[in-house]
Amino acid sequence: MQERAGDIRDVTKRVLSHLLGVTLPNPALIDEEVVIVAHDLTPSDTAQLDRKYVKGFITDIGGRTSHSAIMSRTLEIPAIVGAGSATTTISEGQTVIIDGIEGNALVDPSNEELKKYAEKSDAFAKQKAEWKELKDAKTVTADGKNFILGANIGTPKDVEGATDNGAEAVGLFRSEFLYMDASELPSEDDQFEAYKQAVEGMNGKQVVVRTMDIGGDKELPYLPLPEEMNPFLGYRAIRISLDRQDIFRTQLRALLRASNYGKLAIMFPMIATVKEFKEAKAVFEEEKEKLVKKGVAVSNDIEVGMMMEIPAAAMIADKLAQYSDFFSIGTNDLIQYSMAADRGNERVSYLYQPYNPSILRLIKNIIDASHKEGKWTGMCGEMAGDQIAVPILAGLGLDEFSMSATSILKTRSLLKKIDTTKMQELAKKATDDCETTEEVVELVKEYTK
């Protein structure tokens, strides 16, 4: 909510400017190459940025999940957010270099620095062009091991971006966006059309749909949820679905009908126990049987799996693997639950440690348990596209990496240079010998330089 305060200020300022007849600076009128320096950039500001002229921006405030940071990634504009005092130390007319990769800004750079960064810019452009050539390539390591690189999507419209970036699957379709973008519970037919569009758009490649993950920070105005002290640990996701089976069954029917149009898989979020998974799977089987009896075309090849995001489930992965067709590791929640640290709380953000040996051991346990039962494990959290984590995950035997579409080609390029035998050695050292996140990072750098 704190990070959305900027949105409210933005609307307030625009209304006041109209009432007072004051003209606000308009980013849409920029007609020369510039770097924007601002206290913050509002959603309406960023929506008007023209990549042709805006070469980068620096803001005093903001974080990785603030609107300006998200937009910079979407628009692929180099940015530094949360710089602190940029507006007081940089003046209009000064030359500025922004290194969006390293997170550095240089004011009034020397000729030598200008030359150095021009070369870095050219090298990065060349690298991006090389990545683009991998769009239709398989994800195969230097020693010939295959991996699947998928995309995380929120709506069927995102499928185009996934295919443009060479996705070999959709590893996570966040179906809750269909609920959040509606003014009432979406009907079975509305959901069916959305799922059908997604599976058809992937042309036979697998689409994994996560059933409604509402609760925590995702609320529906038309579905009142109880006030809770800890909503992230409360009534959410599969807990709502099993309680409100009318909603759950509607979604499952829509998914089952869409399964006839492509390769569709279903997974349940926030599973904590074997009993929960069995109950959810039983509802799925009941709805499938009803549709078949009615003569509705349904695929006989639907994999039914679960999200691995609760430490308790990770510890009994061997039991769950006997019933689940696959696991998908949701590292964003798995890490915050394991560390007992809210990932949105700046004071404890240092505990959000994807490379911590404790987290790596949990991931290893999940992958090993699935493989023992002949099942596969994917990952759809932020960690899947993390360039430090990828070599370790490859060494641990992760089968599918699902990430933001724009990270796919970069990750494919990295995996093509990796020898998995060497990465297995890296993963073993990271889980067995390392004590800290920092030690793991240094180990990865040593093995991949």
Average pLDDT in the 114-136 region? 89
Place of tokens 């060494």: 395
Please give the pLDDT value at position 49: 78
- DSSP codes joined into one string, 307-349: EE-SHHHHHTHHHHTTT-SEEEE-HHHHHHHHHT--TT-GGGG
Tell me which of 33 and 63 has the higher pLDDT.
33
Residue 109: is its pLDDT beyond 80? yes
pTM for the complete prediction? 0.80
Q: Where does the chain hold its CATH 3.20.20.60 domain(s)? A: 134-448
- pLDDT, one tens digit per residue, over 252-297 is 999 999 999 999 999 999 999 999 999 999 999 999 999 999 999 9
> What would the two tokens of residue 150 be?
């998928």
Categorize the per-residue pLDDT at 66 as very low, low, confident or very high, splitting at 50, 70 and 90.
low
Please give the pLDDT value at position 286: 98
- pLDDT, one tens digit per residue, over 162-212 is 999 999 999 999 999 899 878 899 999 999 999 999 999 999 999 999 999
Strand boundaries in 121-224, DSSP class E? 139-140, 146-153, 169-174, 207-210
**Residue 148: CA count within 13 A, CB half-sphere:** 21
Residue 299: is its pLDDT beyond 70? yes
Average pLDDT in the 238-247 region? 96
> How far is CA 126 from each of CA 112, 231, 326, rounded to the nearest angstrom?
21, 46, 38
Q: What is the domain class of 2-109 according to CATH?
A: alpha beta
Give percent above pLDDT 90 in the chain. 65
**CA triple 30-32-33, angle to 5 deg:** 110
Distance of CA 48 to the CA centre of its chain: 25
Please give the pLDDT value at position 8: 83
Please give the pLDDT value at position 73: 66
Please give the pLDDT value at position 348: 85
Categorize the per-residue pLDDT at 67 as very low, low, confident or very high, splitting at 50, 70 and 90.
low
Burial annotation 261-291 (CB, 10 A radius, 16+ → b, else e): bbbbbbbbbbbeeeebbebbbebbeebbeeb
- pLDDT, one tens digit per residue, over 356-381 is 999 999 999 999 999 999 999 999 98
Q: Where does the chain hold its CATH 3.50.30.10 domain(s)? A: 2-109
Residue 302 near residue 262 (C-beta atoms within 8 A): no
Residue 325 near residue 305 (C-beta atoms within 8 A): yes
- pLDDT, one tens digit per residue, over 126-164 is 888 888 899 999 999 999 999 999 999 989 999 999 999
Please give the pLDDT value at position 347: 80
Categorize the per-residue pLDDT at 406 as very low, low, confident or very high, splitting at 50, 70 and 90.
confident
Residue 65: is its pLDDT beyond 60? no
| 67 noted as active-site residue | yes
Give backbone dihedrals phi and psi of 201, rounded to 5 degrees, phi first: -65, -25
Residue 149 near residue 413 (C-beta atoms within 8 A): no
Catalytic residue from among 39, 67, 371, 434 = 67
| 434 noted as active-site residue | no
Categorize the per-residue pLDDT at 1 as very low, low, confident or very high, splitting at 50, 70 and 90.
low
Q: How many helices (H) and strands (E) does the chain have?
A: 19, 14
Architecture label for domain 134-448: Alpha-Beta Barrel (3.20)
Q: Of the ranges 28-32, 53-57, 199-203, 240-244, which one carries the lowest mean pLDDT score?
A: 28-32
Please give the pLDDT value at position 140: 96
Average pLDDT in the 113-124 region? 90
**CA triple 286-292-296, angle to 5 deg:** 125
Catalytic residue from among 18, 39, 371, 380 = 380
- pLDDT, one tens digit per residue, over 310-362 is 999 999 999 999 999 999 999 989 999 999 988 767 688 789 899 999 999 99
Average pLDDT, the chain: 91
Residue 3: is its pLDDT beyond 70? no
Residue 98: is its pLDDT beyond 60? yes
Residue 76: is its pLDDT beyond 80? no
Categorize the per-residue pLDDT at 43 as very low, low, confident or very high, splitting at 50, 70 and 90.
low
Please give the pLDDT value at position 71: 64
